[in-house]
Amino acid sequence: MFWQQIFNGLTVGSTYSLIALGYTLIFGVLRIINMAHGQIFIFGSLVGLGLAVNSGMPIWVAFPVSIIVSSVLGLGLEFTALRPLRKKNVPHLASLISTIGFAILIEELTHIFFGADSRPVPAVGTTVIHLGTVQMRAADLIIIGISLCLMIVLHYWIQRTKMGKALRATAENIETAGILGINTNAVIIMTVVIASGLGGIAGMLIGIAYSALIPTMGLTLGFKGLAALILGGVGSIPGAMVCGVIIGMSEVLAVAYGDSSYRDAVAFCMIIIILLIRPQGLFGRKA
């Protein structure tokens, strides 16, 4: 029973990690928490799902569609809410507010286009594999596999490639990076696109995990990613990966051994506690 819960937590948690990575990448480069992340990727995932289901194509088609739509929305965010605020001397919380504005906008559009009803996601990988007492759906393994692969690729890309180096330089100091000949605007655009695209994948994976997507999920899922971001230490990539899983597991355990109705409060209780004991997060460096 316990190991089963841990495994379920791992499945859910790995998708939270992907969401948290979206926040981390944008924060790393821009020092901004993108409050519209959840709403952006749930919109992308709903478009992808709708297209795949309506055209009768397999669910895998939904993934590229979801990635593209989310990325385009990410670009919209960059050009409307983030870039205008970079040019002027503005209070540092202004960009937080403008991303909240963008989030409200997308949430309302989601409501207009998709209503409030939950949409079923066609079942994939229904084969059950037994490992000791733990039952694993093939779908769960696919989710964990995809998440893990993405994280490894992302890590490799940031640490080893030239573009990753430019990203790290921009994160270190945007002005110096600009002086050294890095096209920082291009780096920022790339970051926002990758972050939103990762979200797009995470959204579809969550749809598969729960066999449904709910249009209002954007907000709650965004909060989970946000919690993982704070818990891991803002801007820390390994922190986001690990803490997403930690939050997923604690939620599942809280439901299994405690009260299921407090599920959504678990993540927030954890961040309030961590902010009080260790404000820099589990993996963060002291500022």
Torsion angle of C-alpha atoms 113, 37, 214, 16, degrees rounded to 10 = 160
Cβ atoms of residues 184 and 208 within 8 Å: no
**Out of 57, 148, 153, 272, which residue is the one contacting another protein (CB under 8 A)?**
272
Q: Given the structure tokens 């007492």, which residue do they identify? A: 133
Binding-residue pattern over the window 168 to 207 for another protein, x denoting contact by CB under 8 A: ----------------------------------------
Give whichever of 127 and 260 is closer to another protein, judged by the CB atom: 260
Our finding on whether 79 is near another protein (CB under 8 A) is no
Q: Given the structure tokens 């799902």, which residue do they identify? A: 49
Binding-residue pattern over the window 84 to 123 for another protein, x denoting contact by CB under 8 A: xx--x-xxxxxxxxx-xxxxxxxxxx-x------------
Our finding on whether 268 is near another protein (CB under 8 A) is yes
CA distances (Å), origin 113, targets 50, 93, 116, 194, 221 = 11, 31, 9, 25, 20
Our finding on whether 57 is near another protein (CB under 8 A) is no
Residue 260 one-letter amino acid: S
Cβ atoms of residues 106 and 73 within 8 Å: yes
Our finding on whether 223 is near another protein (CB under 8 A) is yes
Cβ atoms of residues 201 and 63 within 8 Å: yes
Our finding on whether 148 is near another protein (CB under 8 A) is no
* List of residues 6+ apart from 86 with CB closer than 8 A: none
Choices 165-173, 174-182, 223-231, 243-251; region in contact with another protein by CB under 8 A:
223-231
Site residues for another protein per CB under 8 A: 33, 80-81, 84-85, 88, 90-98, 100-109, 111, 219, 223, 226-227, 230, 234, 259, 261-262, 264-265, 268-269, 271-272, 275-276, 279
